[in-house]
């Protein structure tokens, strides 16, 4: 009986000591400010004003189609920028083939169009733009790759 009481008292003391002591805590490394998958052409931005942005490029023998979506908070009243198409040359460098300016009023841009085709190979499309509102502005650069 005395052994049982001693064991209960010892376990109680161990548990109480655990309540009043601190143990080191290991923190996880911070995540990057933006998660990107360039091959899919989608970025989940951590911007102040941009909610979502996606870009895709689909080259073919007749033309190079693209789709650009930029969605912002309602305080944004203009989205503009330049789409630049590059094609990889035989030495592995991307050579600029064409570019066009795109612009819309409001906080949402959804544009689908095409560039000329420059033959089979690897293509890179880059959108470099800005979103603006009353006394606010933010820049964005996203890219997409594809080949045929």
Residue 137 inside a domain? The answer is yes
In a domain, 134, yes or no: yes
Domain count of the chain?
1
If 0-12 CB within 10 Å is exposed, 13-18 middle and 19+ buried, where does residue 43 land?
A: buried
20 found inside a domain: no
pLDDT in tens, 50-61: 999 999 999 999
Q: Can you give the residue range of the structural domain that contains 83?
A: 35-147
Q: Which two tokens stand for residue 111?
A: 């544009």
Asked if residue 21 belongs to a domain, the reply is: no
Q: For residue 102, what is the domain's CATH number?
A: 2.60.40.10
pLDDT > 70 fraction of the chain, expressed in percent and rounded: 74
Task: Give the pTM.
Answer: 0.69
Q: Is residue 28 part of a domain?
A: no
Do residues 19 and 30 make contact, with C-beta atoms less than 8 angstroms apart?
Answer: no
Each residue's pLDDT tens digit in the chain (148 positions)? 677 777 677 767 666 666 555 444 444 444 444 555 555 555 554 678 999 999 999 999 999 999 999 999 999 999 999 999 999 999 999 999 999 999 999 999 999 999 999 999 999 999 999 999 999 999 999 999 999 9
């Amino acid at each position: 009986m005395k052994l049982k009481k001693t064991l209960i008292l010892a376990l109680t003391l161990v548990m109480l000591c655990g309540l009043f002591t601190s143990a080191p805590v290991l923190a996880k490394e911070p995540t990057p400010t933006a998660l990107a998958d360039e091959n899919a052409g989608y970025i989940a931005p951590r911007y102040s004003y941009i909610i979502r942005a996606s870009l895709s490029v689909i080259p073919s023998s007749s033309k190079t189609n693209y789709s650009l979506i930029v969605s912002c908070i309602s305080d944004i009243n203009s989205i503009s920028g330049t789409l630049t198409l590059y094609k990889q040359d035989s030495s592995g460098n991307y050579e600029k083939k064409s570019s066009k300016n795109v612009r819309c009023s409001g906080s949402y841009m959804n544009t689908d169009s095409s560039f000329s085709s420059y033959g089979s190979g690897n293509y890179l499309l880059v959108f470099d733009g800005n979103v603006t509102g009353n006394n606010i502005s933010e820049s964005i650069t996203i890219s997409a790759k594809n080949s045929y």
